[in-house]
Each structure stands twice: as structure tokens, then as C-alpha cells.
Amino acid sequence: MISVKLEYFVNKEKEGVVFAKITKAQKSNNLHGTYFPYEQYIGQVLDSSVNSDFIQSTIEPLDVAFGYFHYGNQITIVNFTKLAEVKSPLVFSATENIKRGCFDVNALWVEAVLSLNEKRTFDFLFSHINEETIKDMSGLAIGHLKAGNCDVGAHCLEEYIRNKKDTENQSVKEFQVENQKGCSQNGTPRIHYRL
């Protein structure tokens, strides 16, 4: 595993990357991940050297977290820029996880905890996740949301995808109409010369 410095995460956040992890709102028998009460630490540092209940956490950029909705029913947003501003004797360590794009960290700043069953969460996700990622991962994400009883979230994602398809279909129709205007009756392109 590759060691990663705190500055790496701060620089990525400056580029617009948001880091997060999928978490559980309560203890469950779900095989994926473990429960930790992140909502109790909003606006605070979680540091494994101070809090013995917090050992380490796997975090990832939102684009990657989008594929892990089966791990829980909420998303915890972390902020490494605020963590870097902390004036405590923080000893930060992070390693790149074996899963692509994931990192195991010993400390983080809990920015927010958002339910995957609320529209406002998906408004946030849609504004911070690459559109291609949403399109590519939507089927998997919708299945995970429904399996986790996050029906509102599944509906938001289905509606987003449907609206994107409608917009794309409308753009194709407009292109076809414009293209037809430039053709003669037999369908060959008209050539317009300007003298």
C-alpha cells in the first residue's frame, strides 16, 4: 500500500474533489462495513490517537463513493482542508486502499452526514459528481438504494437519469430538424455559396 500525505487530500479539495464515505445511520447486520456514529462528530476531528472507538476509516472521492451505496443509508462528507487547520498534535496517516480510489485514514474532519433517502442529498451529489459517473453507475446505485430501503434516493436518481435522457433525445431531435432544413427534397445536402 502507498502512503499518502494530508497535503494530497487538501490539494484535491482545492481542485473541487469532495471526499466521503458511505455510512450507516444505526447498527445493522449488513455485511458491508461497520457502524460508527459520525453524526455525533459533525464539525469535529475524529482522530484514532484520541478516540479509541475510531480506529481508521476508508474514504473516497464522491465519484467512487457513488458505487458503494450498499454499505449504508447515509453519506458522511469529510473535509481535509479543515483537518489541516487543526492546531492539535495531530499525526495524520493515510494509505491507498486496495480498492481503486479508496484511502484508509487515521483522522478526518466530519463536515456533514446526509441521508441517502432525502432529495437534498441527491441535489448535492448531482452537483459534485461527474455526470458520466452518474450515468455509468446509476443502475447499480439504484439497486443498492432500493435494497437499503432508500426509496426516495432511488426515485431521485431514476428521475435524474430520465430527465437527462429526455434532454439528450430533445437535442438529437433538434439536430435532426436543423440537418433536414439544410437538405434538398431528395435528402442530399444543399450547398450554399455566398459571393
Q: Which residues have C-beta within 8 Å of that of residue 26, sequence separation ≥ 6?
A: 35
Q: Which of 69, 59, 57, 58 is nearest to 134 (CA)?
A: 69
Distance from C-alpha of 148 to C-alpha of 184, rounded to nearest angstrom:
56
Provide the pLDDT for residue 144.
93
Provide the pLDDT for residue 118.
96
Provide the pLDDT for residue 166.
67
Provide the pLDDT for residue 55.
86
Provide the pLDDT for residue 101.
85
Q: Which residues have C-beta within 8 Å of that of residue 142, sequence separation ≥ 6?
A: 154, 157, 158
Provide the pLDDT for residue 145.
95
Provide the pLDDT for residue 146.
95
Q: Which of 106, 96, 37, 120 is nearest to 72 (CA)?
A: 37
Provide the pLDDT for residue 180.
54
Provide the pLDDT for residue 185.
57
pLDDT along the chain (195 residues), means of 10: 90 96 82 84 93 90 93 95 84 84 94 96 95 92 94 96 75 52 54 44
Q: SS3 for the chain, per residue?
A: CCECCHHHHHHHHHCCCCEEEEECCCCCCCCCCCCCCHHHHCCCEEECCCCCCCCCEEEEEHHHHCCCHHHCCEEEEECHHHHHHCCCCCCCCEEECCCCCCEEECEEEEEEEEECCCHHHHHHHHHHCCHHHHHHHHHHHHHHHHHCCCHHHHHHHHHHHHHHHHHHHHHHHHHHHHHHHCECCCCCECCCCCC
